[in-house]
């Protein structure tokens, strides 16, 4: 009976993702938001997939811990595993911020998170960053590591910029999906 229920849930997830894929033209995305697997979700699509079967999906916020702490985090996110980390020893003059460096533990932490939830490499993993620019290369990294069902939330948590440079175009927050400034220890990226 458990296997039948698991199969039905998996089929629902796949059908949901196929509906989103069918109504989405990835060629309209900027190159930096495209993935090698071609699996994408809007913020609303990610919300729908996670709420339909929360135990069968790993939903990861891949922004920096600072972004989670000060900008907010989606309620449905399972945890924060940053794809990039701020390097406070190096200043990026072009971008007027600290340099960001890849998180060398990213793939290992994803594997640990899947195992902790009883999930495998072929179960759905949803990655969300600020605007889709980091979730795409993070999805590619996981795909190359053998994960077969990795989705990039192409709108991200805050969304794309409007003509005035404000993030009002799309994204989790702008879609009025559940989020909070309250970061819990269970979701936080802990290195100790």
pLDDT in tens, 116-127: 999 999 999 999
**SS3 letters for 38-72?**
CCEECHHHHHHHHHHCHHHCEEEECCCHHHHHHHC
Q: Residue 3's pLDDT is what? A: 58
Q: With a cut of 70, which residues of the chain have pLDDT below it?
A: 1-23, 192
Residue 10's pLDDT is what?
A: 53
Over the stretch 168-185, which tens digit does the pLDDT of each residue have?
A: 878 999 999 999 999 999
| Rounded Cα–Cα distance for residues 68 and 115 (Å) | 23
Instruction: Please tell me the predicted confidence (pLDDT) of residue 159.
Output: 86
Domain boundaries, given as residue ranges, for the chain: 2-180
CATH number of 2-180: 3.40.250.10
Chain centre distance of CA 100: 18
**pLDDT on residue 155:** 95
119, with CB counted inside 10 A (0-12, 13-18, 19+), is: middle
Spatial separation of the C-alpha atoms in residues 25 and 27, rounded to whole Å: 5
Closest Cα to residue 151, out of 4, 50, 1, 9? 50
Residue 22's pLDDT is: 44
Best CA proximity match to 50, nearest among 59, 60, 42: 59
The per-residue pLDDT for 92 is: 95
Q: What length is written for the chain?
A: 192
pLDDT (0 to 100) of residue 184: 94
Predicted local confidence at residue 21, as pLDDT = 47
């Amino acid at each position: 009976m458990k296997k039948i229920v698991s199969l039905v849930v998996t089929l629902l997830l796949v059908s949901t993702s196929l509906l989103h894929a069918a109504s989405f033209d990835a060629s309209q995305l900027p190159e930096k938001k495209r993935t090698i697997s071609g699996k994408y979700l809007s913020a609303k699509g990610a919300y729908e997939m996670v709420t339909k079967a929360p135990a069968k999906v790993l939903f990861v916020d891949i922004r920096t811990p600072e972004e989670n702490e000060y900008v907010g985090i989606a309620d449905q996110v399972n945890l924060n595993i940053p794809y990039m980390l701020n390097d406070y020893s190096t200043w990026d003059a072009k971008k007027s911020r600290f340099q960001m460096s890849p998180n060398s533990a990213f793939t290992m932490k994803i594997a640990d998170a899947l195992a902790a939830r009883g999930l495998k490499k072929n179960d759905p993993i949803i990655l969300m960053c600020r605007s889709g620019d980091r979730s795409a290369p993070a999805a590619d990294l996981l795909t190359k590591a053998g994960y077969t069902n990795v989705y990039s939330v192409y709108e991200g948590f805050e969304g794309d910029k409007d003509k005035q440079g404000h993030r009002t175009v799309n994204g989790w927050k702008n879609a009025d999906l559940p989020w909070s400034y309250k970061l819990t220890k269970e979701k936080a990226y802990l290195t100790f």
